[in-house]
Structures are given as structure tokens and as C-alpha cells.
């Protein structure tokens, strides 16, 4: 097994690291403090090619493989999870869905705009009463002479207030269960049936945009469906698998940031006339973070390598997402302990890491859902049945 990155991968990672240090880190704290969605910084992400990293060049993307994409997401996640969220939603949830299920006409229509950042997009699956039970969609789609009419609501939708394109999942026939689900590409501009409202007072990711969406007789043309009726659940699960990979990679970034800042602080901070880095229990905390970071990174690399090889990877992606997200929470908690009182305020980024990391164990499938996926793969038995 070769653990060495190619020269191209090393260059991509170094470029992403330099961009993160010069652009993202400089704005992260203020954007978080002001709950500011930094569209100017999003445009810079787009200019770097990060909003369509895995999309082939023929559709306007950077054409990166998944392992290289994971390197980029890790670096961005180390700087600011709010900006990592933009990359994950735009690239992993939306672009990957259109790339896999869209017609050539749909790909050429939407992917160049999304990759360039001309359009932002959102992924409308979660509802006020529907989270882990993704097949149980209350949003309804009714066929008309010239298309479809959507009615319902979505909740916790990243970039929902800025999206010009929304992937909306809706039930066409409740009697069919998940076989009646469909995914619709809703162009939001000038569409009175699509209304969004910002969700305030979040624990973390304050520099990201989160929306509640209302669909009130929202009309979409017949060619706005992504895939076919009955494929909606498949579209959603495929998208979430890609999204889990990017969340896991971003969590490795959080872990690495915790290690970096904690080591630096421990060498600078003195107590009892010596740096706290010389204390055994402080070194033990640093070591724990390093071990979890390395383990999470290797799990992400494995999932990315399997994706690039075209091999089954659902279980491995769930393992990476489960471990990396829990590791991010643990590392952030430990990093605050190393920093002491200084870690409880946002003068140091570990405070923001802690708040931002917590949600990663919830979205794209909770840690408990990941365990069910892994358990089902081990036993062949669906624990939800």
C-alpha cells in the first residue's frame, strides 16, 4: 500500500493550504462573530476551482479525483468549517447529483454555472419532521399539464437563502413509499413559490447560511426532474454518500487545526516556570489528538481511494464520517482543555472548532445512522426493519 501523495496532489494540497491561510483564516473569526455569510470569500473559493472540484473539465469543473478533493476539503475545514460547508454542499451534494443522474442537457445547463460560482445551490431533503427517516417526505409533487407543482417545507438547508438552484425532494404518490420519491431542480430566482428564511442563533457554523424553505404552489417545468419518478431516494442516498466523504475530510481539518494550535500554545504558555508542553498530562492530550487525527485521515484516504477505483465504498465512507466527526468533537474538546481559560473565548480558533464540530455528528446522517449502516454491512440485517 502506497501512502505517498503524487506531486500533483502535494501541489494541490499546498495551494489549498496557502489559500486557506491567506484568505479563509483571516476572515473566519469575524465572519463567525458577525454571523456573516461571506459571499466575497465564496467567490474566491469558486475562482480557485473548489466549487466544482470533482466535476470534469468538459462541464466547467477542476476534474480532481476524490482523494485530491479530500485534501482540498481538509485544508479548507482547518481554516473555517463554514466555508467548507459551501464546498461540500455545492460540490458533493449538488454537482455530484447532477453529474450522476442528470441528462447531458441538464449537465451543460447547470454545472458550468455552479462550478464557476455564478450560481450557488442548495440540497433540500431535510424537513421539519423528517431527518434520519429521509424516505418519509411530507413535501408533495403534483403533476400538471406543463410540469409539476411542489408544496411543503424544508429545514436546516445550507445556502438556501442564496441558492439560485435548489434540489428539492418530494413525494409524487404517498402510496408508493420511497418508490414515489422524485428530485426536482428548482430555479429560485423569480419563483414566487419558493420562499426562504434565515435560521438565526446557531451554536456553530455561524459564518454559513442556513435556511428554512417554504414551497407554496412552486411550479417547475417537466424537464426540471433529476432522474425519474422513483429515483429520488437513490439520488438522495448517492448525494449523502458523497457529502459524508467531504464532511469527514473537513473534520480531519478540524482535528489538524486543534493539534497545530494546541502544540503551539503548549510550547508558549508557561506555568511553574516552564512551558506546559513539558507536563506529562499535557503531552498525553496532544498525543491523543495526534492519534485520532492520523486515524481519521487514513480512513478518509481509504474511502477516497475506493471511490477513485470505482469500488464499493458506502461502508468505508460511513466509517470515515463516523470516526472523523467524533474525533473532531473530541479533539476540539481536548484542545480547549490544553488552552485552559484562553480556549473558552474566540481569541483562539479552538473555541470555534468546538462549536463547529458538533454539528458534523448530526448532518449527512447522524453518528447513530452511520453505525446502523456499518452494522447492516456486517450482518446483512437491516436494524430498522
Domain ranges for the chain: 7-119, 122-229, 234-379
Give which of 148, 147, 155 is closest to 123, Cα–Cα: 155
Residues whose CB falls within 8 Å of the CB of residue 18, separated by 6 or more in sequence, listed in order = none
Q: 144-170 as b/e, with b when 16 or more CB fall inside 10 Å? A: eeebbbbbbbbbbbbbbbbbbbbbbbb
What is residue 132's predicted lDDT score, i.e. its pLDDT? 84
- Report the sign of the C-alpha dihedral through residues 257, 353, 294, 19, in that order: negative
CATH 1.20.140.10 at 234-379, yes or no: yes
pLDDT block averages, 10 residues each, the chain of length 385: 91 98 97 98 98 97 98 98 98 98 98 98 95 89 96 98 98 92 97 98 98 98 95 95 97 98 98 98 98 98 97 97 98 98 97 98 96 96 77
The enclosing H or E element of 284 equals: helix 280-308
Catalytic residues: 364
% the chain with pLDDT above 90: 95
Instruction: Using alpha carbons only, give the angle 91, 353, 246 rounded to the nearest 5 degrees.
Output: 20
Tell me if domain 7-119 and domain 234-379 are identical in fold: no
Class of domain 7-119 as given by CATH: mainly alpha
Report the distance separating Cα 32 and Cα 38, nearest Å.
Answer: 10
Residue 383: the pLDDT is 87
Q: What is the pTM (predicted TM-score) of this model?
A: 0.96
Predicted local confidence at residue 131, as pLDDT: 84
Find out if CATH 2.40.110.10 is the number for domain 122-229.
yes
Please give the pLDDT value at position 64.
Answer: 98
- Name the packing angle between helices 350-358 and 232-268 (round to 10°): 160
Distance CA 234, CA 220 (A): 21
pLDDT at 384: 64
Amino acid at each position: 500500500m502506497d501512502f505517498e501523495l503524487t506531486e500533483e496532489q502535494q501541489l494541490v494540497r499546498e495551494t489549498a493550504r496557502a489559500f486557506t491561510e491567506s484568505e479563509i483564516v483571516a476572515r473566519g473569526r469575524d465572519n463567525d462573530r458577525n454571523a456573516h455569510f461571506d459571499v466575497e470569500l465564496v467567490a474566491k473559493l469558486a475562482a480557485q476551482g473548489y466549487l466544482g472540484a470533482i466535476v470534469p473539465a468538459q462541464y466547467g469543473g477542476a476534474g480532481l479525483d476524490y482523494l485530491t478533493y479530500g485534501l482540498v476539503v481538509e485544508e479548507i475545514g482547518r481554516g473555517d468549517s463554514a466555508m467548507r460547508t459551501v464546498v461540500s454542499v455545492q460540490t458533493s451534494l449538488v454537482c455530484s447529483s447532477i453529474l450522476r443522474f442528470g441528462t447531458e442537457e441538464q449537465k451543460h445547463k447547470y454545472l458550468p454555472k455552479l462550478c464557476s460560482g455564478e450560481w450557488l445551490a442548495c440540497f433540500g431533503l431535510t424537513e421539519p419532521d423528517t431527518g434520519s427517516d429521509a424516505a418519509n417526505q411530507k413535501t408533495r409533487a403534483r403533476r400538471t399539464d406543463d410540469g409539476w407543482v411542489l408544496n411543503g417545507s424544508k429545514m436546516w438547508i445550507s445556502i438556501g437563502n442564496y441558492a439560485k438552484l435548489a434540489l428539492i425532494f418530494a413525494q409524487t404518490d404517498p402510496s408508493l413509499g420511497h418508490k414515489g420519491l422524485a428530485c426536482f431542480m428548482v430555479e429560485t430566482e423569480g419563483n414566487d413559490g419558493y420562499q426562504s428564511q434565515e435560521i438565526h442563533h446557531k451554536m456553530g457554523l455561524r459564518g454559513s447560511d442556513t435556511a428554512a424553505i417554504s414551497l407554496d404552489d412552486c411550479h417547475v417545468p417537466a424537464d426540471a426532474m433529476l432522474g425519474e419518478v422513483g429515483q429520488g431516494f437513490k439520488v438522495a442516498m448517492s448525494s449523502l454518500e458523497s457529502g459524508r466523504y467531504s464532511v469527514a475530510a473537513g473534520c480531519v481539518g478540524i482535528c489538524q487545526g486543534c493539534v497545530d494550535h494546541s502544540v503551539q500554545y503548549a510550547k508558549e504558555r508557561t506555568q511553574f516556570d516552564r512551558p506546559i508542553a513539558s507536563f506529562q498530562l499535557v503531552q498525553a492530550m496532544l498525543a491523543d489528538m495526534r492519534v485520532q487525527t492520523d486515524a481519521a485521515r487514513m480512513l478518509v484516504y481509504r474511502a477516497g481511494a475506493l471511490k477513485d477505483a470505482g469500488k464499493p465504498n458506502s461502508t468505508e465512507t460511513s466509517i470515515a464520517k463516523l470516526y472523523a466527526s467524533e474525533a473532531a468533537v473530541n479533539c476540539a474538546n481536548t484542545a480547549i482543555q490544553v488552552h485552559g481559560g484562553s480556549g473558552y473565548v474566540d481569541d483562539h480558533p479552538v473555541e470555534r472548532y468546538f462549536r463547529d464540530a458538533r454539528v458534523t455528528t448530526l448532518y449527512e446522517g447522524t453518528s447513530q445512522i452511520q453505525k446502523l449502516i456499518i452494522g447492516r454491512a456486517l450482518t446483512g440485517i437491516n436494524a430498522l426493519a
